[in-house]
């Protein structure tokens, strides 16, 4: 047991180092900074969730539906654990970077499997606590329950992620294993994962016909959650009604499913890892015509290849683009004769209770397009993903400016469909020309901003000693700072719209500000960024 705990401690330290880019996880200073930074992050996100849940509780209390809040929060937490864990399986349980090193340690296979599962459980418990503890406190403030509510909530807190982890692990394992049977396994992994996530997001919309009032919709959603996830019903009875039998059954089922999953994974651990690490069958190599490209084009192609061969990279930075494109396509179909033919056309303005929907999109459109673009920064991880091969990139006879432009070019390329979607949306919704032009300019400038800013932050906060690409792309300090910087600009944009009564004037001021910010970032990137890049020792 001591070996397992020690192994979990080392692995958790490595994950913290990857997340916060703090260097050697074995150093005491790095550990202190790592756990301190993690604590600060957890507290900050918990406060954010507290405010979010508090606003939800105000609406539920207004319609006398506060009793459904614990169930909804538990269901939301389970879905988040499910969706995020699917993409952590490969790199945490299977095909992790230091598999050969870990397997050579004087620890049994059972011990190694247990340590990896505990690591996965620990990472998910962070997110569970950040959501459920604020939700519990808010419900306690609003409903004034007895002490039993807090005791049962604390007990069930540790069981909430068990079943979602098991289900996500099974799905993630299936995706990872099936992808090894294909030559273009990364492409299959990306497509299958996107389809699966979209299915999880939109499947509930096909259940039931909903209601018109908030109360009816909330009750309907709760009933659907209970039908789809029976553990939610047990959780509700245990937490709200203090039903001890429901509590024991909830704990028993959660632990039972997780233990059963652990036994199955333990038996097939080596076999599945060998399958996932060996790769698929390749066709016979044939020498073709060799093409010569400029340094920029060659580096750009290399970056694009890296992007599309890293599924978690595509899903994390490109999912907003996918959702935006699907939304616009659906809107075009609905508003076109095709929608009439299939009897799916409807008055969007009436459906959204907004008489002048085109004018509303013209006013709030720049804010919405900025939000989608800010979520898609490939450059915030592009330097770190070079890893220990950074020396190879630095040895090329090309300027730092060319290297930077190649990475920025990939981000612009990935976001280009959103600009095209925007133009198509403007045509369909009959937005005024001036408002449409403002939206396009904001979209272009926001794309340039997130591409440049993400690269600059990643140069300032690089991480070349990562163990999994997932940590670099989704959980690194560079990614977090880039996201927060983008959100700061969105807040400024929102404040300008609220403070200045003339909407177009507010957008023009924001465009001017964004242009200045882009010019400043470019200048810093070409001076300080180049100097810092030259000093990298990998």
Backbone angles phi and psi of 94, in degrees to 5: -120, 150
DSSP letters, 298-309, are HHHHHHHHHHHT
SS3 state at 449:
helix
For the ranges 91-105, 169-183, 408-422, the lowest mean pLDDT is seen at 169-183
The answer to whether 59 and 237 are in contact (CB under 8 A) is no
Q: Is the Cβ–Cβ distance between 369 and 417 less than 8 Å?
A: no
SS3 397: coil
- Are the C-beta atoms of residues 52 and 43 closer than 8 Å to each other? no
Mean pLDDT of the chain: 76
User: In angstroms, rounded to a whole number, what is the distance separating the alpha carbons of residues 416 and 423?
Assistant: 11
Q: H-type helices in 336-432, by residue range? A: 337-341, 348-351, 357-374, 379-382, 390-394, 400-429
Q: What percent of the chain has pLDDT over 70?
A: 70
CB 386 within 8 A of CB 458: no
State the DSSP string of 4-20. Answer: HHHHHHHHHHHHHHHHH
The reported pLDDT for the residue numbered 349 is: 43
CB 487 within 8 A of CB 374: yes
Rounded Cα gap, residues 253 and 249, in angstroms: 6
68-101: pLDDT as tens digits: 788 888 888 888 888 777 767 766 777 666 777 7
Q: How far apart are CA 225 and CA 231, in angstroms?
A: 9
Q: Are the C-beta atoms of residues 234 and 246 closer than 8 Å to each other?
A: yes
Cα–Cα distances (Å) from 288 to 202, 291, 304, in that order, read 45, 9, 21
CB 104 within 8 A of CB 23: no
Query: For the segment 19-66, what is each residue's pLDDT rounded down to a tens digit?
Result: 555 544 455 555 565 566 667 767 877 887 888 788 778 777 776 777
pLDDT at 109: 77
Structure tokens at 4: 């397992």
User: What is the CA angle 477-385-443, rounded to 5?
Assistant: 70
User: Rounded mean pLDDT of 125-137?
Assistant: 88
Structure tokens belonging to residue 199 = 């299915």
In the predicted model, what is the mean pLDDT of residues 308-322?
Answer: 76
Pick from 222, 231, 239, 81: nearest CA to 164: 81
Q: What number is the average pLDDT over the span 317-337?
A: 68
pTM score over 0.75: no
């Amino acid at each position: 047991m001591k070996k397992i705990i020690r192994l979990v401690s080392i692995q958790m330290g490595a994950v913290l180092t990857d997340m916060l880019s703090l260097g050697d996880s074995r150093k005491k200073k790095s550990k202190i900074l790592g756990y301190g930074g993690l604590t600060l992050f957890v507290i900050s996100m918990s406060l954010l969730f507290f405010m979010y849940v508090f606003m939800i509780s105000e609406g539920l209390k207004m319609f006398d539906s506060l009793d459904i809040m614990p169930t909804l929060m538990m269901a939301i937490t389970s879905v988040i654990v499910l969706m995020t864990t699917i993409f952590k399986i490969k790199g945490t349980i299977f095909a992790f970077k230091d598999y050969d090193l870990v397997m050579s340690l004087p620890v049994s296979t059972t011990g190694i499997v247990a340590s990896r599962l505990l690591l996965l459980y620990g990472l998910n418990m962070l997110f569970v606590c950040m959501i459920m503890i604020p939700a519990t406190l808010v419900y306690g403030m609003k409903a004034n329950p007895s002490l039993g509510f807090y005791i049962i909530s604390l007990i069930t807190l540790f069981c909430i992620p068990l079943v979602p982890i098991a289900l996500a692990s099974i799905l993630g394992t299936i995706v990872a294993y099936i992808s090894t049977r294909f030559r273009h396994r990364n492409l299959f992994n990306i497509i299958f994962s996107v389809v699966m996530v979209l299915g999880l997001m939109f499947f509930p919309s096909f259940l039931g016909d909903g209601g018109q009032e908030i109360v009816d919709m909330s009750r309907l959603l709760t009933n659907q959650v209970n039908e789809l996830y029976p553990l939610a019903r047990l959780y509700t009875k245990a937490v709200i009604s203090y039903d001890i039998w429901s509590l024991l059954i909830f704990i028993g089922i959660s632990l039972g499913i997780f233990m059963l999953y652990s036994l199955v994974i333990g038996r097939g651990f080596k076999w599945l890892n060998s399958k996932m690490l060996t790769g698929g069958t390749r066709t016979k190599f044939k020498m073709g015509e060799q093409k010569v490209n400029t340094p920029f084009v060659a580096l750009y192609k290399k970056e694009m290849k890296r992007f599309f061969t890293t599924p978690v990279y595509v899903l994390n930075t490109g999912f907003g683009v996918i959702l935006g494109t699907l939304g616009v396509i659906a809107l075009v179909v609905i508003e076109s004769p095709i929608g009439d033919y299939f009897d799916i056309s409807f008055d969007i303005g009436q459906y959204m209770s907004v008489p002048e929907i085109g004018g509303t999109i013209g006013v709030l459109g720049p804010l919405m397009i900025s939000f989608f673009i800010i979520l898609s920064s490939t450059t915030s991880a592009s330097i770190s993903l070079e890893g220990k091969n950074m020396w190879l990139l630095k040895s090329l006879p090309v300027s730092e400016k060319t290297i930077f432009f190649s990475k920025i070019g990939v981000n612009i390329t990935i976001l280009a469909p959103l600009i095209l979607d925007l133009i198509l949306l403007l045509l369909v919704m009959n937005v005024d020309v001036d408002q449409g032009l403002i939206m396009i300019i904001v979209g272009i400038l926001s794309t340039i901003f997130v591409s440049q800013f993400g690269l600059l932050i990643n140069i300032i906060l690089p991480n070349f000693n990562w163990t999994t690409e997932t940590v670099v792309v989704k959980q690194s300090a560079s990614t977090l700072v880039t996201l927060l910087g983008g959100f700061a600009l969105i807040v400024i944009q929102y404040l300008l719209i609220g403070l200045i009564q003339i909407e177009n004037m507010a957008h023009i001021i924001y465009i001017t500000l964004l242009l200045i910010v882009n010019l400043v970032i470019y200048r810093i990137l070409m001076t300080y960024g180049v100097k810092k890049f030259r000093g990298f020792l990998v």
